[in-house]
Amino acid sequence: MGSISIILRRPPYGTVDAPEAIRHALGGIIEDMSVSLILVDGGVNVARKGQDISNTEYSSMEAAIKDCIDMGVEVYVDKASIKGEHLEVEKLIDGVVITDELEIAEIIKKTDTTMIF
């Protein structure tokens, strides 16, 4: 069983980065890998509760993150990025782990592969 860290730096909508990061995370879990999805910078918005996509062509990243958590992906959210994006902790999806850059470095150090989106 391998392990992978997937770092998502981009916001949830407007590029393919968030859906691709989540697709790879779910693919890793299906292949029995240990998967850590690390949300930093604009990527922390993927874990925001109550995303309204009703007037867009996008799929909900909120639902996708919940699927990741339900399937066993460890989803980490960078504390400094939460502050930088003016996001309140109470507005994050249940099940995400709030962490700092030192723990993120340790997570990445322990995995076999790292992908950055």
DSSP 31: T
State the residue for tokens 């779910």: 26
Q: pLDDT tens, 49-64?
A: 987 777 777 677 888 9
CATH topology classification for 3-116: Hypothetical Protein Ychn; Chain: A, (3.40.1260)
Quote the pLDDT of residue 35.
98
Q: Give me the DSSP letters along 45-104.
A: GGGBTT---TTSSPPPHHHHHHHHHHHT-EEEEEHHHHHHTT--GGGBPTT-EEE-HHHH
pTM for the full model?
Answer: 0.92
